[in-house]
Structure 1
């Protein structure tokens, strides 16, 4: 009969022996790997990172990217206390606007563009009392406006022929007939804080001809959202200064 190795001989009563079982190198490495995995599983922790959530807009914008930030960032569109603060421009001190008295929807802001027009187009929506400057990427800058009274409104497609800072205002003859006190300005009222055209004016032409209509500023901030002009589109002075800085000659204009 084959003898058992001494290390595997059954112990006698009361005797304790250590059993030596030879392990192959592969078995040892496998065992060490398993223990390492168990150790990793036992020591690992799951952390929840508090990351800021990016607000996304998934509306159709014509962009090749179906998801995009819901609002653009623009250094000139910030808190109303900053946008409508007093400022020095062209030698004039433009007064602060009491923005708390201006309805929030009429304050300058970035919105999702729903006009369907090309970037750079100025869209005036008469019923909404809003002006949109279409931006690349599916946004638009929106400004509250005052519009013409019934019988003085104009609509259609045209373009900006040119613009002027602190423009001269000359009342047309028919306006002087309605308001004879304006005869003193038949030669033109110089630009200034009381000038009806405000800090800037954009002159609207159609088929190369002056329509007589303007997009301009106004010292009468309380008239925004109202229909009380003689047909022109008026903005708060701080807003027309901002809009003027963003447009150039020949920008398309759509009034609907």
Structure 2
């Protein structure tokens, strides 16, 4: 079981090419991290996998356990097991957290089957306790008036409840103080399993101090240009991306 990206090219609606041949395989049970300079295509990759309509795939494939997901709609990709935690989670006024997650879970059940409300709230409260979220958040509108840390914890809560096969976290550490980062990392680590793959997109080593990746990749100018183990992130933290300039002038 794997999420496999092969020679993926994608562009904006105006024809600007962002992804220029990305290839990556994330087997179930592994955590991969992508790092790289601003504008290298990291967030674009996450959005293309999730099915963002602002990007056009011009060539290449993305398969989930052997099935082509580029032919699927956004909701179909979600049902197939893909979850994207946004860098900037959207607000959904008028819809409570509890109802939002409950509706998402209900949509995954066979027609005619109803979600068990007692079991649902029991699991929801257990996950909220792990993420140190006050129970009052169940009745608040999704992300409305939330702090940056609360929004990110809410994203992880949704991920934990939906129990996807492949989790993509787009700069989940962005804007978090150290305490919030530790809580978010605790939730992510609780999701690690042999049956789930994860892709972390980040600028900074500090996230990887708490979520240890199996592999680290460097993205630049729309391609993955270097891969290695967890030590590669430490190397980037110490030396930056100067090696990219050296490679370009070699």
Q: Do these two structures clear the TM 0.5 threshold for a shared fold by scoring above it?
A: no
**Using CA pairs below 8 Å that are at least 6 residues apart, which structure has the higher relative contact order?**
2
Q: With the length of structure 2 as denominator, give the TM-score of the two structures.
A: 0.23
Higher fraction of helix: 2
Q: With the length of structure 1 as denominator, give the TM-score of the two structures.
A: 0.22
